[in-house]
Structure 1
Amino acid sequence: AYQEGYGPQFFKEYMAMVNGVDEQFGRIIDELDRLNLAEDTLVVFFSDHGCCLGSNGQPTKNVHYDEAMRIPMIFRWPGKLNPQHNDLLFSAPDIYPTMLGLMGMEDLIPDTVEGTNFANTLRGIEGDIQPTSQFYTFMPYGGQSYGRRGIRSQRYTLMIDRKIGKPLTYVLHDNQIDPYQMDNIAAGNPMLIDKLITEELIPWLEHTGDPWRPTTVPAHSANAYL
């Protein structure tokens, strides 16, 4: 359902803006082809976020829903990258090291980079360790230890919200049987939530040095998962 104020008229305007970007980006690609620079140019197309446009009652971004989180990621390099579609759980921090890897500059990737070089995967070469989830984070201004954290695996989306002085709240979606993420199944799946926290979320928190921690969760307590 559309949230009030974000009806179909805004959807048309959004699609018009998308079409405008597509046209201008097409001009860049056409110019590379005209100058015979296509095979010498790595082109990367992506967005920093999507837009819910009223889906799940959300107007825009900063939420865990796929409309906001799951964005296109396109690499183009004729002669070096063959056309393919890959469901790799690619994340924004992976863009920089992957670009350097594709350009043969692996040695210049700093050790402090949090992302991963997936150049081999894009080339169709096996060997890259495939990520099992993507990290979701929303921090309120000035409150890095609070806000929302979560993960998006191939099957599940988990989001945990911490507010000052309030219990943690949980949202869990099974994206395989509920692709529109309409049902929050957190209350009935405490053991699955514990597994996703332990195996996916905590490693992301440690990897990024995030001070947010799900430490107040009573293990396997269905009452905790609202």
Structure 2
Amino acid sequence: NKRPNVVWDKTYQEGYGPEYFKEYMAMINGVDEQFGRILAELERLKLDKDTLVVFFSDHGCCMGSNGQPTKNVHYEEAMRIPMMFRWPGKLPACQDDLLFSAPDIYPTLLGLMGLGEHIPDNVEGTDFSKTLMGHGGDKRPTSQFYTFMPYGGQSYGRRGVRTDRYTLVIDRKIGKPLTYILHDNKNDPYQMKNIASD
């Protein structure tokens, strides 16, 4: 491994790490196979050009990065997730680093289907259909809010903000002082240095 933020310690390697990685990769393979079946069936039914297909995950996985095995952390591997929109003939092939968040899914889907005028005023998310269609003109967010509250507890957890350059997190643990974490993702892409006290 050549990633400087992945520490393969003896406890992790000889513990649950290898088994967890195998299970996780098997799950990814399973999702890939089933998603492929959906696309193949749409094509067989000649519905592929009339169907907007959306694929996304609710989180990524650290897989050992920064000593974290899974999710529910602020590191890039857990926060930056796959999100793909496929609509042959309607959406151009592209890749974008848009700060897109879960509340944006609903209004964006309505916008893509030409129903943007029916998006209720009280919807919190933003319609980014123009960006996805390659037209531009959408006001791009400069930040997104991040929160993690463990099941059943609101007295502890993490909250933060992700911008295109920085990740800021406030970590609250019961009976301990708040921990502040700030990463400069441009100068420290592996998020190895906490510059909150600089």
Q: Normalising to structure 1: TM-score of the pair?
A: 0.77
Offset, 1:144: 3.7
Q: How does 1:174-213 map to 2 (within 5 A)?
A: 174-188=184-198
- Answering whether residue 128 of structure 2 is matched by residue 118 of structure 1, we say yes
Match of residue 108 from structure 2: 98
Match of residue 191 from structure 1: none
Match of residue 84 from structure 1: 94
Question: How far, CA to CA, are the matches of 2:190 and 2:123 in structure 1?
Answer: 33
Contact 1:52 1:68 in 2 (8 A): yes
Residue 53 (structure 1) aligned to one of 63, 67, 80: 63
Per-residue CA deviation, residues 167-219 of structure 1 (Å, 9 max, x unaligned), is: 3211111111221111111111xxxxxxxxxxxxxxxxxxxxxxxxxxxxxxx
Question: How far, CA to CA, are the matches of 2:173 and 2:61 in structure 1?
Answer: 24
Structure 1's unaligned 5+ residue stretches are: 189-226
- Answering whether residue 30 of structure 2 is matched by residue 20 of structure 1, we say yes
Question: How far, CA to CA, are the matches of 1:86 and 1:114 in structure 2?
Answer: 22
Residue 54 (structure 2) aligned to one of 44, 59, 64: 44
Q: Normalising to structure 2: TM-score of the pair?
A: 0.87
Identity of aligned residues (%): 76
Higher helix share: 1
**How many residues are treated as equivalent by the alignment?**
188
Contact 1:47 1:71 in 2 (8 A): yes
What SS does structure 1 have at the residue aligned with 2:66?
helix
Match of residue 129 from structure 1: 139
- Alpha-carbon RMSD: 1.7
What SS does structure 2 have at the residue aligned with 1:181?
coil
Offset, 1:56: 1.3
Relative to structure 1, the CA distance from residue 187 to residue 52 in structure 2 (aligned partners, 3 Å threshold; closer, same or farther) is same
What SS does structure 2 have at the residue aligned with 1:126?
coil
Structure 2's unaligned 5+ residue stretches are: 1-6
Output the amino acid matched with 1:56.
N
Deviating beyond 3 angstroms after TM superposition, the runs of 4 or more aligned structure 1 residues are 140-146, 163-166
* More displaced 10-residue stretch of structure 1: 52-61 or 137-146: 137-146
